[in-house]
Chains A and B, each alone.
Chain A
Amino acid sequence: EAEVAQSPRYKITEKSQAVAFWCDPISGHATLYWYRQILGQGPELLVQFQDESVVDDSQLPKDRFSAERLKGVDSTLKIQPAELGDSAMYLCASSLESGSGNTIYFGEGSWLTVV
C-alpha cells in the first residue's frame, strides 16, 4: 500500500541551528499538508499546498519557518533558527484533492528535539 514518506524520523538540534524535514506524498496526490503536533495535543496545520501553490499558511510562523513544494511533488519544511519551543512532531499528509470527501493520509512523522 502506498505511503507518505518522511525523513528524518528523529532529529536533535541545538537552538539557533537550521533544520529541514522532507516529505514525499503518495503518488498522484495533489494536496499536501504539514502539521505540527506538540506532545499531548492534536496536530496543528502549518501549511497546505495544492500542487506547487500554497493554499493556506496562516498558521506558519513565517519569521522562522518556510515550506516549499517546487515541482508539486515532494516538499521540504525548514526551520531557521530553531527555538526550544519548536520541539514537536512534524507530520506530513496528502490527499488526492482538497475536496471535503477526500481521505487524508499521514506519514509517520519527524520528531524534533531542540536542545
Chain B
Amino acid sequence: SQQGEEDPQALSIQEGENATMNCSYKTSINNLQWYRQNSGRGLVHLILIRSNEREKHSGRLRVTLDTSKKSSSLLITASRAADTASYFCAPVAGGSYIPTFGRGTSLIVHP
C-alpha cells in the first residue's frame, strides 16, 4: 500500500469557478481512486482511474492520470457550494487493496 499526497492542502473559490486538486504518489499503481468527505461524515467514493487510462469523466468531475510523473489531478467544473468538502486520493498498488489516505485537500466553495 502507499499513501497519496494531495496538493494544495486548502483551496477557496467562488461558486461557478473550477477547482483543481493534485495527487502525487511514489510507486507503480494499479489504479487511483478519489474520495470526498463532507465535514464530520464518512468518505464517499467519487471515481476510479486505471493505470492504463489517462483521463476519465463523471458528471462535473474530470480526473487525469500521468503515470510517468506519478501524479493525478481532480478537476471539479462549475463548482457549487455543496462541493465544499475534503478530497482524498488513494493510489492502489498490487492486488491487495488497502487504501491509504493523505491529509486531503480542503475545498471551500463560497456562494
Contact = CB atoms under 8 A, between A and B. Distances in A.
- Chains A and B are bound partners: yes
Interface of A: 4, 33, 40-45, 48, 55-56, 89, 91, 93, 95, 98-109, 111
Interface residues of B, number: 28
A4 B44 CA distance: 12
Contact of A109 (B42, B44, B103): B42
A48 B100 CA distance: 12
Given A48-B98, A99-B97, A42 B30 contact: no
Given A100-B30, A100-B94, A108 B99 contact: no
Interface of B: 1, 30-31, 33, 35, 40-45, 48, 50, 88, 90, 92-104
B31 A106 contact: no
B31 to A, nearest CB: 6
Given A41-B103, A42-B104, A106 B42 contact: yes
B41 A109 contact: yes
Nearest to A92: B42
Contacts, number: 68
B48 A103 contact: yes
Given A100-B31, A100-B92, A101-B48, A40 B97 contact: no
Contact of A100 (B40, B97, B100, B104): B97
Contacts of B100: 45
Nearest to B94: A100
Nearest to B43: A106
A102 B88 CA distance: 17
A98 B96 contact: yes
Nearest to B100: A45
A93 B94 CA distance: 20
